[in-house]
Amino acid sequence: MTATISSRLFDWYNDHARDLPWRAPPGGSRPDPYRVWLSEVMLQQTTVAAVAPYFAKFTDVWPTVEALAAAPEEDVMAAWAGLGYYSRARNLVKCARTVAEMGGFPQAEAELKKLPGLGDYTAAAVAAIAFGERAVVVDANVERVVARLFAIEEPLPAARKAIRSRADEITPDNRAGDFAQAMMDLGATICTARDARCLLCPLHTECEARKSGDPLRLPVKAPKKAKPSRTGTAFWIERDGKVWLVTREGKGMLGGMRALPDDGWSARADGSEDAPVPGAWKAAGVVRHSFTHFDLELGIAQHADADPSPAGEGEWWPIDKMDEAGLPTLFAKAARLVLANRD
């Protein structure tokens, strides 16, 4: 069965591989490890469509791992703004500097795992795709394909051990990178979460979930817990055509990013008790944003003529260049709302 699966999958992948900027064609020379690593870090919990323009920007500004290693961290964080999960960007810089000091990426999966920010999946993906090492690569798409292929009934996340074991069984020794990417593509385009296009699937004759008549029920997912909600206030402090921005602490939510000052999302009604400067404040609207573990409702308190400057470190940023500030999505939403209401 293993040989049949890989053979049919390779035949399908040769004709249907997605054309992605970080990939090499099926059966071709191996891609640059830097581009594989960068794309895999960006793709964690993010869609291909969202990643593509960021990947193009990064590889244009920093075409090699050495160039990225030499970049100021604040520039990398600003370029990452809007992609989310900002700890990835901080680890990106750490990893680039480590790799540059080593003289290049290690090839072995075990050594790749030792690099900052590389977990089991990313290390396996880089080892297989960039270096041709046999590694078991299991992302969400592969997880779904394997769960259906072998009709694994155990609910996630407990099922992941069985899924990985089955994925190991069918991973061939040759063309490891192509196999991993073929499985990803199959899950992204044919065996999707909302649809199972079984008649187009190269593995449909082997698929136990298809034989059951209801492939969409797999993988079984545990019930989602309701997200808690939080509220807080951000402060728009303006003077002479500029707005006061701060750099958030390196650790924690949105760490290391430029942002509007805020109250730590402590649920003040109007922000007045936590205002960075005295004077007349007015409510400028509310923005809502969903993080992984909670939903946030952020009120915006606006001060139109702040003097003196707020206490603490910060910078006056030209309002007409807000799109160059590299604000994370939450604070970019807040800035757009204030500017839209003013216009």
- Is 109 annotated as catalytic? no
Residues 21-48 have pLDDT tens digits of 999 999 888 999 999 999 999 999 889 9
Model confidence band, residue 16 (pLDDT cutoffs 50, 70, 90)? very high
Among candidates 272, 252, 254, which has minimal Cα distance to 263?
Answer: 272
Predicted confidence (pLDDT) at residue 328 exceeds the cutoff of 50:
yes
Beta strands at 258-259 and 295-303: parallel, antiparallel or unpaired: unpaired
Architecture label for domain 2-217: Orthogonal Bundle (1.10)
In this predicted structure, what is the pLDDT of residue 84?
84
Evaluate the CA torsion angle 85, 89, 94, 96 in order and state its sign.
Answer: positive
Neighbours of 2 (CB within 10 A): 10
For the chain, what percent of residues have pLDDT higher than 90? 71
Where do runs of H (alpha helix) occur along the chain? 2-16, 33-43, 48-61, 65-70, 73-80, 87-102, 109-112, 120-131, 140-149, 160-170, 176-189, 208-212, 329-342
- Give me the catalytic one of 40, 66, 169, 315: 40
Predicted confidence (pLDDT) at residue 274 exceeds the cutoff of 80:
no
In this predicted structure, what is the pLDDT of residue 269?
40
In this predicted structure, what is the pLDDT of residue 122?
96
Predicted confidence (pLDDT) at residue 267 exceeds the cutoff of 50:
no
**301/90 Cα distance (integer angstroms):** 30
Worst-scoring range by mean pLDDT, 81-85, 129-133, 177-181, 286-290?
81-85
- Looking at the DSSP bridge assignments, the partners of residue 244 are 316
> Which residues are CB-contacts of 299 (< 8 A; sequence separation ≥ 6)?
231, 232, 233, 234, 269, 270, 271, 283, 285, 286
**Higher local confidence (pLDDT), 271 or 243:** 243
Cis omega (within 30 of 0) on the bond before 172?
A: no
Domain boundaries, the chain: 2-217, 229-342
Architecture label for domain 229-342: Alpha-Beta Complex (3.90)
| 38 in Cβ contact with 59 (< 8 Å) | yes
Beta strands at 229-239 and 295-303: parallel, antiparallel or unpaired: parallel
| 246 in Cβ contact with 314 (< 8 Å) | yes
Structure tokens at 181: 């990417």
Structure tokens at 238: 């303006």
Model confidence band, residue 287 (pLDDT cutoffs 50, 70, 90)? very high
Model confidence band, residue 157 (pLDDT cutoffs 50, 70, 90)? very high
The domains spanning 2-217 and 229-342 adopt the same CATH topology: no
Residues 246-262 have pLDDT tens digits of 988 877 788 888 999 99
In this predicted structure, what is the pLDDT of residue 151?
97
User: The pTM is what?
Assistant: 0.81
